[in-house]
Amino acid sequence: MKLVLVTDAWLPQVNGVVSTLVELVRQLQARGDEVVVIQPGQFRTRPCPGHPGIALALFPGRQLARMVDAANPDAIHIATEGPLGWAARSHCLRRGLPFTTTFHTRFPEILQTMLRVPLSWSYALLRRFHRPSSGVMVPTRGVLDLLEQRGFGNLREWTHGVDTRLFALAPEATEFPPLGHLARPVSLYVGRVAAEKNIEAFLALDVPGSKVVCGVGPLKTALQERYPNVHWLGVLPRQELAQVYAAADVFVFPCRNETFGQVMLEAMACGVPVAAYPVHGPLQVLGDAGAGAMREDLREAWFDALKVKRHAARAHAQQFSWGRATTLFASFLVLFPPRQRKPRPSPLNAAAAVRSLPGIEVARLSHKRHPAVE
């Protein structure tokens, strides 16, 4: 199968959506599928207001259409609702091509919190975006139920996976240099340092030991000044991040509007229990498995999570297989009818045709692990 994956979230951005998509592409390629990634780095861009680390493609319509046509795929998946997502949607509708989409992020709740935008306005726009989709993939049953209540259709539950070889138990990790000298217990947050992540609920938490933050974002400078006793490690390569996870005692997930929360899986795979609020993402990822604790009082959740055995957290994470997640994703794709597929040139000529078009990328991800945080 040859897939065109259109996404506004891609490297060098650092967030959970990028981590998920990079691993998905790697898994699809390991199965023998070919994936063409269309992403902001192939277009003229401008920084997203308030989030300078996120690049938005400027007027991508015509170039994107040429790229899709040159790729001549069997299926198209649109992963995000940004400028590239809207351009790909328009192209598919003009050509009568089926496509699938993903609902990764609860933007309406974020916009309501930050800008007072009514939920009904944002959800109406997202309904319009996803309505023509042949399948809207969502990460949990809870998000699926939420979107059904909001009038979305063609919903498919696509639970993500975790790399349990990279993220693993490592008893010796407590001596890992950035954390080895810290007072115990060590509380860890991994993610963007941004208002929508509710990170101050973690930073202000009155618990013993030390606090560590891995991540960057628009609030980092201000929060570093406000919380000088917190240890700020920035963005780490994934191998180092795995060691930091394994060296922690409790992983704190303070976000209230997350659709999934990949970082919770990564922490649990390293044997670190999770403390979180009882909201959509944690309710679906943690469930009642005893791999962490959920309370409206995050401090109570922290103390309860500290009692969880590391092997219990690890065992729960092992249920989230990337092999299963990739097979499920592929099963939800809608292949073009034969009449809509153009005969493919020989591999040599096809490669030359792709190379001749500026900006197109036939994704060839190495096994080098990229930095990633939620």
Q: Where are the domains of the chain?
A: 2-161+321-355, 171-317
Q: What DSSP state is assigned to residue 362? A: B
CA angle, residues 43, 45, 50, in degrees to nearest 5: 150
**Which residue blocks in 140-236 are alpha helix, DSSP H?**
141-149, 177-180, 200-203, 220-226
Task: Sort strands 100-102 and 186-190 into parallel, antiparallel or unpaired.
Answer: unpaired
CA–CA gap between residue 236 and residue 370 (Å, rounded): 9
**Predicted local distance difference test score (pLDDT) of residue 359:** 42
Residue 372 in this model has a pLDDT that exceeds 60: no
Residue 72 in this model has a pLDDT that exceeds 70: yes
How far out from the chain centre does Cα 106 lie? Answer: 12
What value does the mean pLDDT of the chain take? Answer: 89
Tell me the pLDDT tens digit for each residue of 285-296: 998 989 999 999
Per the structure block, which two tokens stand in for 72?
């001549």
74 touches 335 (CB < 8 A): yes
**Predicted local distance difference test score (pLDDT) of residue 254:** 98
Fold of 171-317: Rossmann fold (3.40.50)
Tell me the pLDDT tens digit for each residue of 333-346: 999 987 666 666 54
CA–CA gap between residue 129 and residue 84 (Å, rounded): 12
ω before 12 within 30° of 0 (cis)?
yes
Tell me the pLDDT tens digit for each residue of 304-343: 999 999 999 999 999 998 999 999 999 999 999 876 666 6
Architecture of domain 2-161+321-355: 3-Layer(aba) Sandwich (3.40)
Distances (CA, A) of 175 to 131, 142, 160, 244, 250: 51, 38, 31, 10, 16
Which residue's structure tokens are 């939920």? 119
Assign 218 to helix, strand or coil: coil
Q: Do domains 2-161+321-355 and 171-317 have the same CATH topology?
A: yes
Confidence of residue 116 (pLDDT cuts 50, 70, 90): confident
Residue 33 in this model has a pLDDT that exceeds 70: yes
Task: Sort strands 250-253 and 274-276 into parallel, antiparallel or unpaired.
Answer: parallel
Residue 373 in this model has a pLDDT that exceeds 70: no
